[in-house]
Amino acid sequence: MDEPLISQKTPYQLHLAPGKYYWCACGESKSQPFCDGSHKAKRLFTPIAFEITESKTVWLCGCKHTSNKPFCDGTHKKI
């Protein structure tokens, strides 16, 4: 099974405005932690769509192994 690339071993702390976002699940995007379409070339991953309804700070997974995609669940501490 294909494993995602680890873009970083810590979460991305971001303050996001309301809107729809696409989290990179493959780890290859040059626009981490967001998808830029890099997965289309050779990977079996698809981005994870999520919506923010009010401005807030979020921690998006950087290791790509979270069980709570796209949000960090601390899995990076175990890899």
Examine residue 7 and state whether it is found in any structural domain, yes or no: no
pLDDT at 33: 98
Examine residue 32 and state whether it is found in any structural domain, yes or no: yes
Examine residue 24 and state whether it is found in any structural domain, yes or no: yes
Q: Which domain holds residue 37?
A: 12-78
pLDDT at 43: 66
pLDDT tens-place values along the chain, 79 residues long: 488 999 999 999 999 999 999 999 999 999 999 999 988 876 688 999 999 999 999 999 999 999 999 999 999 999 9
Q: Tokens 């998808």: give the residue.
A: 35
Is 62:6 a contact under the CB 8 Å cutoff?
A: yes
Examine residue 5 and state whether it is found in any structural domain, yes or no: no
Examine residue 36 and state whether it is found in any structural domain, yes or no: yes
- pTM confidence score: 0.91
Say how many domains are in the chain: 1
pLDDT at 42: 64
Examine residue 25 and state whether it is found in any structural domain, yes or no: yes
Examine residue 58 and state whether it is found in any structural domain, yes or no: yes
The phi and psi torsions of 13 (rounded to 5 degrees) equal -90, 120
